[in-house]
Chains A and B, each alone.
Chain A
């Protein structure tokens, strides 16, 4: 029997719409949803490797309870009832002894995040966090400081842009299929790409202009761009007058930051900076300075993100065709969004300080909806603000995602209970006391995706096949755990279908509506607000706040003076990390097909520096930082700035049962120091200095 199922990919976090062909209970074919513009059949390599994940025998096949020491790989196969009861009993003991706030749940943001949040609130703990801050915490805060919206409420109109500037945003290797195709279309219509990165990526090879910037100096470049734009009056005068608060302050602030000054700092010739500013101004407002992800991530990252966004503001590109836009929800057209479990009446509000202290004077600004995950090991080790005793890691791997692997391990050792809800033997699963295996995206119906944008829509991840192994959807696992803990009433469903129907109540849409194309739309027209009087900024002033009330009220300046990054001493390098098209962070390295394409990471090092150190291409080198060291093969190339070395994120796995990826390459978290932008919330992933030497 053959059937076609519309669904959503989950090989990475983008959730591309897909069509799956199933024959006799087997997935035979996956392609991009042909009904969705920009997809039309296309996939990325990770999406194409979905079948390999489904049939991989090296994923977790049943609930497991640890029998040997942590990380020994000694497990007892358990029934679901046994494993869930085990976890529930342990949690009860911990809550009784240390209070509910000693339980933390960290996850990769996903469609069932409202279920996890409900679980923790019902338990009475404030300690839910997502991976978001690690990815883009400062982008979020910067957006709120200027516009009153989070970054997730903003988008970029790639299709109509005329010039886009990327800061280490490796657009063509971090493939979001629709976005890539939209930008390709723009390029075919004459749009330009400028790419700024100390390292040459695929995106650099596709760009019209490339700046090999000195690592850590993106902010200097931006201040110089502003200097030119303001002094040559290249900005959108009308837009700035109508919508911008604090322009005069910015005007004074940027005066010292001339292109000639920036040339010294960034290594980019002054005339190229001037030219870029003028070119962007010619195409305004259909231009984009791309605000995330990557770019120079340092403890002052918030100011880098703000500077990128301010450049857009000066160009008048915010809420312009071909620029940035605010995502419109169903409310714009009189519709209702899908319900979330967190909206239930009677669900307890938890008013306790969070483990990461977000929302307190110590750490006032990051988004409480996501928390700041990289503070977790510090909170555990210092028992600050209180002891943490249990961690539920839901498809999030703190070991490999949070800087300073050794410290992360020391923190884990202090916990009484570590539970993983995962599909793979991730490294955190490997160090867990209990693994509760989740069904993969092809094996489960998932919660509604409320896709806001220029056209608000809803998408659905529909189940294609029954689970290959003894696995369950995460929303069912958490419900069954909740029942054992005595608060099952907040999970009013037995099956995922019940839950989705509950979510859709009152929206006017039904589960069956998704069968035809995989999505439903609230409107067929794109909504852009009127630039004269209709842009609804959510700041206190209703304007774009260059001088930000959010920042200033918390005691932070809007425009602190530029502080140069440290030049690495001779023989030292700034460690940069990034990704490739074939892997998703730490989660796909063991996929048979993706592993074959990119089996390990290498240390990129500039040819001249390598010569100085006597390192030949392909040789083993030892890389060391203040917090750790490890061995990796060198990739000697002219394609990287001499002050920096680079490695792909996500390698060096220690979970032996994920046999393909085990011990291949080196984990960047082994070397990175755990430093945070204490205003914006991002980890300073490019702030670590390392030494490199040849392994004798």
Chain B
């Protein structure tokens, strides 16, 4: 089964949280649920230099997702054609079982609808040939989305460049 990859070039991320905001704006979400988030690690001094990492945490769209297995109504599904894990809002009864099952906190509670929301890689956009919201607007274009071979190519290109303070 083909899978999409979402790759963060962590050296270019400036921890600005644009991805989070655009995700919410695109999904029309209120304050509260964080379908994706940037986790800041540090800063701390490494020698004389302060260093920090800003790690992008969307849903990982697991190979065998525990949330899908745990969902009692079949609302949480893994799409056959590309492996995207998503919630069928019609079927979700808001029991939060998926939230307990996921080790990463990917399914989030939407208090206003009483249902779960989660990252679905913006499947509506993906189906139109577009990138997920977070990837499209990322300030420094540090997020990349694509088929495994595309991401491998991007990573190869990036490694070829002699870069970055963190090397």
Contact = CB atoms under 8 A, between A and B. Distances in A.
Given A42-B141, A52-B25, A205 B43 contact: yes
Contacts of B161: 188
B140 A42 contact: yes
Contact of B50 (A31, A45, A177, A639): A639
Contacts of B17: 45, 581-582, 597
Contact of B22 (A48, A205, A206, A581): A48
Contacts of A44: 16, 18, 139
A181 B16 contact: no
Interface residues of A, number: 46
B162 interface: yes
Contacts of A42: 18, 137-141
Interface string B124-147: 000000000000111111000000
Contacts of B48: 210
A411 interface: no
Contacts of A207: 49, 165
21 contacts: A40-B141, A41-B141, A42-B18, A43-B139, A45-B17, A48-B22, A172-B14, A173-B14, A175-B16, A181-B140, A184-B12, A187-B164, A188-B161, A190-B163, A202-B54, A204-B43, A581-B14, A596-B32, A597-B21, A638-B45, A639-B43
B79 interface: no
B51 A41 contact: no
Nearest to B54: A202
Interface in A13-44: 29-32, 40-44
Contacts of A593: 21, 24-25, 31
A208 B50 CA distance: 10
B91 interface: no
Interface of A: 29-32, 40-45, 47-52, 172-173, 175, 177, 180-181, 184, 187-188, 190, 193, 200, 202, 204-210, 581-582, 592-597, 638-639
Nearest to A205: B52
A48 B25 contact: yes
B15 interface: yes
Nearest to A177: B139
Interface residues of B, number: 36
A442 to B, nearest CB: 12
A129 B30 CA distance: 38
A412 B149 CA distance: 64
A210 B49 contact: yes
A466 to B, nearest CB: 20
Contact of A596 (B31, B139, B140): B31
Contacts of B163: 187-188, 190
B110 to A, nearest CB: 14
Interface string B18-53: 101110111000111000000000111100111110
- Looking at B22, B24, B45, the one whose CB has the most chain A CB atoms below 10 A away is B22
Tell me which of A31, A595, A597, A638 has the highest count of chain B C-beta atoms within 10 A of its own C-beta: A597
B48 to A, nearest CB: 7
A202 B14 contact: yes
Nearest to B139: A42
Contacts of A184: 12, 140
Which of B22, B25, B140 gathers most chain A CB within 10 Å? Answer: B25
Contacts of A50: 25
Top 5 nearest A-B pairs (CB, nearest first) are A48-B21, A205-B52, A596-B31, A172-B14, A48-B22
A620 B20 CA distance: 29
A613 B102 CA distance: 43
Nearest to A598: B17
A639 B43 CA distance: 8
Given A184-B12, A639-B43, A204 B50 contact: yes
Contacts of B31: 592-593, 595-596
Nearest to B12: A184
Nearest to A51: B25
A192 B44 CA distance: 20
Nearest to B125: A29
Contact of A45 (B16, B43, B140, B164): B16
B12 to A, nearest CB: 6
Contacts of B20: 45, 597
Contacts of B16: 44-45, 172-173, 175, 202, 581-582
Given A31-B136, A200-B50, 20 more contacts: A29-B26, A31-B137, A32-B137, A41-B137, A42-B138, A42-B140, A48-B18, A52-B25, A175-B139, A181-B140, A181-B141, A187-B163, A188-B164, A202-B54, A204-B43, A205-B52, A207-B49, A207-B165, A597-B21, A639-B43
A32 B43 CA distance: 30
Contacts of A177: 139
A582 B140 CA distance: 15
Contacts of B138: 42
A44 B17 CA distance: 8
A48 B17 CA distance: 10
A346 B44 CA distance: 62
Contacts of B136: 31, 41
A319 B48 CA distance: 34
A190 B20 CA distance: 30
A268 to B, nearest CB: 11
Contacts of A596: 31-32
A589 to B, nearest CB: 13
Contacts of A639: 43, 50
Contacts of A595: 31
A202 B15 contact: yes
Contacts of A180: 14, 139-140
Nearest to A172: B14
A344 B59 CA distance: 58
B21 to A, nearest CB: 4
Contacts of A208: 165
B43 A200 contact: yes
Nearest to B23: A48
A190 B162 CA distance: 7
Nearest to B166: A206
A243 B62 CA distance: 63
Nearest to A638: B45
Contacts of A582: 16-17
Contacts of B21: 45, 48-49, 593-594, 597
A43 B18 contact: yes
B36 to A, nearest CB: 12
B111 to A, nearest CB: 13
